[in-house]
Amino acid sequence: MVTPTPADGYRDHPVRSYVLTGGRAHPSRNTLRPETLLCAVDDGRELPADASRQERALLETSRGTLALAELAAHLGLPTSLVAVLASDLLDAGYLAIRSPAGHALPGVDLLEEVLDGLRRS
């Protein structure tokens, strides 16, 4: 069963204000946090010609590892918007998540390592 098409054969799509994200307010994955570490995949592939300026800048800035929030700050965009852009680039294989994308709280082992690192810092 297909969605009925209006009598004039034209389906209206209202113009959204968040055109930058292709009309989406939320990333396609919910594992991206502000501290999630991202890095461009270095396989020589070029972004498609229709990639946005923001996507190009995001990938360019991701040539080394940075957290999502750092990418947002360097690009001068809100973290929520960069999460949507990054999510697309992840889905397309241009960007990779460096840090384990867990939902859990940091475990005792990790906390002890952080505490030890702080003492030595």
Supply the minimum distance, in Å, between the C-beta of residue 59 and other proteins. Answer: 11
For 116, phi then psi, to 5°, come to: -60, -45
Residues between 55 and 114 with contacts to other proteins, criterion CB under 8 A:
57, 60-61, 63-67, 69-70, 72-74, 77-80, 98-100, 102-108, 110-114
Contact 25, 78 (CB under 8 A): no
What 3-state class would DSSP assign to 38? strand
Chain centre to alpha carbon of residue 26: 10
CA distance 15 to 23: 8
16 touching other proteins, by CB under 8 A = no
Supply the minimum distance, in Å, between the C-beta of residue 41 and other proteins. Answer: 14
Supply the minimum distance, in Å, between the C-beta of residue 115 and other proteins. Answer: 5
Contact 68, 86 (CB under 8 A): yes
Supply the minimum distance, in Å, between the C-beta of residue 83 and other proteins. Answer: 10
Residues that bind other proteins (CB under 8 A): 33-37, 57, 60-61, 63-67, 69-70, 72-74, 77-80, 98-100, 102-108, 110-121
